[in-house]
């Protein structure tokens, strides 16, 4: 059951990377079969303290992401539940063949944590800034692909999947996310969360774009426009029934993602809408560009990912 934070989203007090390391340590205390693998990014994700507590179960594999996935597969076969973390670009592009062969194809129980999603890579620049990762991963059969919205969700999802069989790929930012959910909320993987109901237009978002969609909805509502807002945190399998319901109800949808508009959330929603044939669509996301160095605020504006951009796209669609 979800409990939605009452008010305009504000920054969480705890960083997402600290949510991961703290929850990982807690889960390791409960389950001896859980192990954690790192690709030389322990400082970046703050798992050093977990390694001190469980030195034989937190392994730094070095800057060898493909090898890390192979190790995770071997540990899964041996009865362990491995978590494997690296930056999003390396958790997708660099080791995709191993994700396919050693992960999804062999049905191993691996949890890949992909951090520094999209423009939140900021000063790491274009080589580390992945706009295509969820598109790569959603094509793998029997792979659960999610993007974390806030700290409350991240903690609950980690708890849910810790010793669950399956291949999970989880995208997240490392720093502070905006608060969307109240503590105690629980989430159903594969189901979208209706944050606001409305009848004129639907905004479907994930990750950092959820808070931008909420801000855009507040601006639209001041103009007497009824706005539905959906957090589609699971990209694969996507909640087709919820999309169809609001496609029929509002007839107009704007998707909002910190990712390329190709083969990510916008494409996934477009596929459902095309089959249902009952809504018009606009996509907010990265359009045929690579990443660059910059502050998060600069990058959000540069790539058209702000509440203002969503608001503008919604007005354009409402006039269409």
* 61 touches 88 (CB < 8 A): no
Number of neighbouring beta carbons within 10 Å of residue 176: 17
- Cα 230 to Cα 16, 35, 176: the distances in Å are 21, 34, 21
Rounded Cα distance between 220 and 230, Å, is 15
Q: Name the nearest CA neighbour of 230 among 265, 194, 256.
A: 194
- Cα 245 to Cα 4, 83, 182, 237, 280: the distances in Å are 21, 35, 26, 17, 14
Furthest CA-CA distance within the chain? 60
Task: Return the SS3 of 118.
Answer: helix
Catalytic positions, written as ranges: 65
H-assigned helices in the chain: 16-30, 42-45, 48-53, 65-77, 96-98, 133-137, 151-161, 209-221, 240-250, 265-276, 296-302, 307-319
| Helices and strands in the chain, H and E counts | 12, 12
β 111-115/167-171 pair status: parallel
């Amino acid at each position: 059951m979800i409990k939605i934070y009452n008010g305009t989203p504000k920054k969480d007090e705890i960083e997402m990377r600290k949510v991961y390391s703290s929850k990982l340590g807690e889960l390791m205390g409960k389950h001896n079969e859980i192990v954690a693998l790192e690709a030389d990014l322990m400082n970046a994700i703050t798992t050093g303290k977990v390694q001190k507590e469980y030195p034989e179960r937190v392994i730094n594999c070095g800057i060898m992401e493909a090898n890390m996935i192979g190790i995770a597969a071997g540990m899964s076969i041996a009865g362990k539940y491995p978590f494997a973390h690296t930056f999003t670009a390396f958790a997708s592009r660099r080791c995709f063949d191993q994700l396919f062969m050693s992960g999804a194809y062999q049905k191993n129980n691996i949890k890949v944590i992909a951090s520094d999603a999209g423009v939140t890579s900021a000063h790491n620049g274009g080589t580390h800034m992945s706009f295509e990762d969820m598109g790569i991963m959603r094509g793998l059969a029997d792979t659960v692909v999610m993007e974390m919205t806030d700290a409350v969700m991240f903690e609950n999802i980690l708890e849910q999947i810790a010793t669950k069989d399956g291949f999970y790929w989880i995208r997240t930012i490392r720093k502070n996310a905006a608060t969307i959910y109240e503590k105690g909320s629980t989430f159903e993987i594969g189901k979208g969360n209706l944050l606001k109901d409305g009848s004129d237009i639907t905004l479907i978002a994930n990750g950092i774009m959820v808070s931008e969609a909420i801000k855009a909805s507040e601006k639209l509502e001041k103009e007497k426009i009824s706005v539905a807002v959906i957090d589609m945190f699971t990209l694969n399998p996507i909640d087709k029934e919820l999309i169809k319901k609001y496609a029929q109800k509002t007839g107009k949808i704007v998707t909002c993602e910190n990712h390329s508009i190709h083969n990510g959330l916008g494409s996934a929603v477009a596929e459902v809408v095309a089959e249902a044939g009952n809504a018009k669509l606009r996509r907010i996301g990265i359009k045929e560009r690579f990443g660059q160095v910059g502050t998060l605020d600069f990058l959000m504006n540069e790539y058209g990912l702000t509440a203002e951009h969503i608001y503008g796209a919604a007005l354009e669609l409402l006039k269409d």
